Structures are given as C-alpha cells and as structure tokens.
Amino acid sequence: MNVNQTAAWITHYNQHLQDQKDYLTSLDRKIGDGDHGINMARGFAEAAKAVEAETFETSADVLKKAAMTVMSKVGGASGPLYGTALLKMSMAAKGKNVEGDVFAEMFEAAIDGIKQRGKAETGEKTMLDVWVPVLEEVKSSGFDAAIVEETAQKAMEATKDLTATKGRASYLKERSKGHLDPGAVSSYYLFVSLAEALKEEG
Amino acid sequence: MKKLINDPNLVITEMLDGFVAAHSSSVKRVENTTVVARKNAPVSGKVGIVSGGGSGHEPAHAGYVGEGMLDAAVSGEVFTSPTPDQVFEAIKAVDSGKGVLLVIKNYTGDVMNFEMAAELAEAEGIQVDQVVVNDDVAVEDSSFTTGRRGVAGTVFVHKLAGAMAETGASLEEVKQTAEKVVQHVRTMGVALSPCIMPSSGEESFELGDKEIEMGIGIHGEPGIEKKPLVSADEITDEMVERILPELELNGNDEVAVMVNGMGATPEMELYIVNRKVHELLAEKSVTVSHTFVGEYMTSLEMAGCSITVLKVDDQLKELLDAPSQAPAFRI
C-alpha cells in the first residue's frame, strides 16, 4: 500500500460513512443512543479533508494525520477508539513497506489499542468482533484484500447474535440481541474501503 | 419536529455564546474551544474542578460553573462526549498549580475522552485526578456491563466537591469528598416521551401513547423496561423502592432529595412526585435535610423525571449549605 492508496483508504472510508450515515445512526438508535453515523461522518469528513490538503511522505504519516483529526473531531466513544486504532496502525507501519505481514502487525497493534482504551475483549458485541476475525484470517492465510473484506462482512453480520456487555448497548443486556453492532458495521466499511483503495493504481 | 434553532451544526457554539452573554460577569468562554470557565480562572490556591459531557443536559454542565462549584465545564456535541483536546484546554485553563479533579459521568465515551485528556495533562506536568460518578440504580453494576451510568447525582458531586475545593483542601481531600458523594448517591429515572436529536430530527426511542420507559439514562437511550402508564404515586413508589435498599437507610438517617425534570415536565408534576417521595421517606422515618426540585440534568425535550437520594452526614450537609454562585445552583 503506497502513500496515495493510504490516503484513498481514508477518503473512501469517509465516502462510505457519508453514504451510510443514516443507516449507522438507525442501527445505533436501536441499541445505543442514535448518533454513531452522525459522529463518524462529521469526524471523518474532517479527516478526509486534512489528508487531502497535504502531501505526505509515508503511509504512516497519512494514518497519523487521520488519527489526530479523528481524536479531536469525533468525540463520544468512537473518537478515542477509531483514533487509537489509526494511531496504532500508523506506529506499526512506521519505516516499513506496508504489505503482507505488515498489515497483520498493524491490525494487531490497532486491536491492542482498542482493547486497552475500551477495556473490552472479543465476544462483547463491539468493533473488536470484526477486527479480531480479520486479524486471525490475515495471520493464518496471509493478506488478501478481497478475503479481508469478506471476513469482515461475515464477522459484522455475526454480531447480530451477540449480547452486548460493553458500551451503551450493554444496558439493554438481552435486548441487544438481534441487532447488528453499529461499531462493527462501521469497522466493516473500513475494511471495504481498504480493499477499494488497494485496487487503485496510486 | 419543531425546534427553535438556526442550524443543527451550530447548536453548541450558539448556545455557549448565549450562555456566556447571560452570565458574563462570572464566566468566560476559553477561546476557540467549547470550554466555559470561571472568569477569574485559574483561582490561585484552589484545586480546579472540571466536568462536562455531551450537550443536551442543560443546565448541566456550564450552569454549574461558578464560585462554590465547577471551575470549568466542557461541552461536547449533543449527547456526545467532548474530545480529549477540549478537556485538556479546560484543565489548562483552571490549573493553579494545586491540581485538577475531573468529574466524569460513567459512560464509555466520557471515561475514554477524559482519561486521554488526563494523560495529555500529566505529560505537561499538571497534577490530575478523577472521580467517576455512577449513581443510576436502573443499570446492573456487574462485570458483564459497562457499569452504572452517571446521571443527576453528578450535580451533588459538583456541589460538594466544589464546596470542599473552596476551603483550600488538597486534591486528595477534594477527591475523597467526591468519592464519598458517589458512594452515597443513587438515582432512578423514568421517561414519558423520548427526546429528539437536533441533528437527525428523529425520536430517540419509540414509546406508545400510554407507555412509560423505566430506568432511562440521560442520553435518549432506551431504559430497562417499557410499562403501561400508571399514576404518579405508583411510578414514584417503584422508583424510590429501587433506590432506598441501595443506601441501607435506618430510622435516624438523613438524606438530600433531588427531583429532576428531564426537560419537558411541568414543575407541577415534579412537585407531585416530590410530595410522594417525602411521604415514602417519612414512612421509613428518614429525615430529609435538603430538597431540590427543578431541571438539573435534562435530556433535551424528554418528558419524565429522575429521583436522586443522597445520604448525608454533618460534613455533607455543611458542604451542601456552603454558598454557590453557579447560575444553575445558587445557594
């Protein structure tokens, strides 16, 4: 993944969030407080703008810029979590050619950051339930963008059957079952955007 | 849905401009932030107290900035925690060198953003500590949930920690007072109608004409149970019955009571609820030392109320009686 593709990752992701803003918000209204789409769309619009406004040397620089913007513009729980994920990926990518195993290192760093910041583990109906299956797939079969997207989709759909024990959805306990986790869905779009960006020439 | 706004994207900044215009003799806006601070911040020789959270809870939190309560309040988007950089600005604005206490409501986003801000402040050598308020008895407090939410009881933490800080107490002492309040305060809420987010224009949850939602939080999230609407006395009875066992009250105990409107409840109804709360406490021979009825921690235009009971001792009573110049809590 070259520097232009990394920037495209962020801008594609922003496009998905703008398109799916109402959908994400409607998911969040069922088991959260109904603002996930709004907050993510607001923050990543700023991140995409910031990434487009500058020329960067490396993929790590792009991710760092996106991370800092997200942390200061999103708020709520999504801001620290996505900001941390991007920042940790930036640190893992620093000084490296972002390809093959480096993706696994980046995803693992992001997951560690999300776990620590959110005090969460897998199986709690959160974004981790998409990130962790993706990492496991990349670790066992190597990095393939199309398969990453497919794995993310299946994992996202599987959050429907989970009971939330973290975040605001946890207050609903059993009532959270039968609904997709909004953070898992927004994470799925991140991996869709990654696959799209990698198809571009850069 | 009708709302008296100009642009959904500008509601926070326009509200804060109006707030500062109304109270310009005592508060200021920290430039280019959503922070409202005391005009004379930082107050030398005093621990700074910073709170905040999403907007939509007015008069919380800016209404509690003033001598005797908070030094600064940080406003996020509607029902969305403020970002770490904003909280950090508030910490810097109020630190007099004696340290800063963060009063955080126990919501995942608030805790994360305030903790990140605390890390930024510590990196700059500012002494920061925090207390997390979790007074909502509707939510089970176990390792299988995020824990109880912080709701209207937070106002008592602001008041009592604020009064303690005015005495010149150390950061540790102010924190101890705040922790003591957290241990002894419990709240339960009910909604008669949901609220409507300015950004989406949609109702936060669905509620039938004859239904109520028990155990709501303050962010328009659904509560724990939908029930048919019954009388004020029956609803109050159920709420108080959820609160009292938690405080293990005895005949000689004293409490402070807060009946808080969620935004669209007439005072008439709040006083009807308060009447029953006093009746129930009298039956248990519990003395009410202070009563607060009004809007303290709202959810936009949600109809409903919350009942907060704080078990008090001589120290807490004295701190409750201490003067406060905060626009929304003058004593």
Contacts of A137 (CB under 8 A, 6+ apart): A147, A148, A151
Is this complex's ipTM strictly greater than 0.90? no
- Chain B residue at shortest CA distance from A77: B109
Distance CA A22, CA B197 (A): 13
Which domains, ranges and CATH numbers included, belong to chain A? 3-199 (1.25.40.340)
B76: buried, middle or exposed (CB in 10 Å: 19+, 13-18, 0-12)?
A: buried
Higher pLDDT, A121 or A169: A121
Question: A34 and B81: CB-CB below 8 Å?
Answer: no
Helix or strand run (H / E) with residue B122: helix B108-123
* A78–B contact, CB cutoff 8 A: yes
**Matching CATH topology for B8-183 and B185-320?**
no
Q: What is the pLDDT of residue A201?
A: 75
Check B23, B57, B61, B184 and give the catalytic one.
B57
**Residue A45 pLDDT level (bands cut at 50, 70, 90):** very high
CB B68, CB B322: distance < 8 Å = yes
pLDDT tens sequence across A46-84:
999 999 999 999 999 999 999 999 999 998 889 999 999
Largest CA distance in chain A: 48
Say which residue the tokens 């209207």 belong to. B152
Q: Is A168 part of the contact surface with chain B (CB cutoff 8 Å)?
A: yes
With an 8 Å Cβ cutoff, is A25 touching chain B? yes
Structure confidence by residue, pLDDT tens digits, A115-135: 999 989 999 999 999 999 999
Is residue A52 left, alpha or beta, with left meaning phi > 0 and alpha meaning psi from -120 to 50?
A: alpha
Q: What is the domain class of B8-183 according to CATH?
A: alpha beta
Instruction: Give the pairing type, strands B325-326 and B329-330.
Output: antiparallel
Of A25, A33, A76, the CB nearest to B221: A33
Q: Given an 8 Å threshold on Cβ–Cβ distance, is A167 in contact with B146?
A: yes
Identify the pLDDT of residue B141: 62
pLDDT, one tens digit for every residue, chain B (331 residues): 789 999 999 999 999 999 999 999 999 999 999 999 999 999 999 999 999 999 999 999 999 999 999 999 999 999 999 999 999 999 999 999 999 999 999 988 899 999 999 999 998 999 999 999 999 999 876 555 578 899 999 999 999 999 999 999 999 999 999 999 999 999 999 999 999 989 878 887 788 889 999 998 888 777 788 999 999 999 999 999 999 999 999 888 999 999 999 999 999 999 999 999 999 999 999 999 999 999 999 999 999 999 999 999 999 999 999 999 999 999 9
Lowest mean pLDDT among A38-42, A145-149, A170-174: A170-174
CA distance A177 to B164: 45
pLDDT at residue B142, as a whole number: 53
Query: B207-222: per-residue pLDDT in tens?
Result: 888 999 999 888 877 7
pLDDT digits (tens, 9 = 90+) for A177-197: 889 999 999 999 999 999 999
Q: Where does the pLDDT of residue A156 fall: very low under 50, low under 70, confident under 90, or very high at 90 and above? A: very high
The reported pLDDT for the residue numbered B221 is 73
CB contact under 8 A, A29 and B107: no
Q: What pLDDT, in 10s, does the model give residues A90-112?
A: 999 999 999 999 999 999 999 99
Which residues of chain B make contact with A81, given a CB cutoff of 8 A? 112
Measure B204 CA to nearest chain A CA, in Å: 6
Local structure of B295: helix, strand or coil: coil
Residue B138 corresponds to which tokens in the numbers above? 């509707």
User: A34 and B204: CB-CB below 8 Å?
Assistant: yes
SS3 A188: helix
Chain A residues whose CB is inside 8 A of the B83 CB are 71-75, 79
HSE-CB at A20 with a 13 A cutoff on CA atoms is 22
Give residue A14's pLDDT.
98
- Res. A166 pLDDT band, cuts 50 70 90: confident
Give the pLDDT score at A131.
98
Q: Higher model confidence: residue A33 or residue B64?
A: B64
d(CA B66, CA B257): 22
Q: Closest-CA residue in chain A for B215?
A: A171
Amino acid A175: pLDDT: 79
pTM of the prediction? 0.89
In the CATH hierarchy, which fold is given to the domain comprising B185-320? Hypothetical Protein Tm841; Chain: A;domain 3 (3.30.1180)
Please check the confidence at residue A202 and state whether its pLDDT lies above 70. Answer: no
Q: Which residues pair with B312 in a beta bridge?
A: B254
Chain-centre distance for alpha carbon B14? 22
> Would you kindly state where each structural domain of chain B is located, as residue ranges?
8-183, 185-320
Strands (E), B57-216: 72-78, 100-105, 128-133, 185-193, 211-214
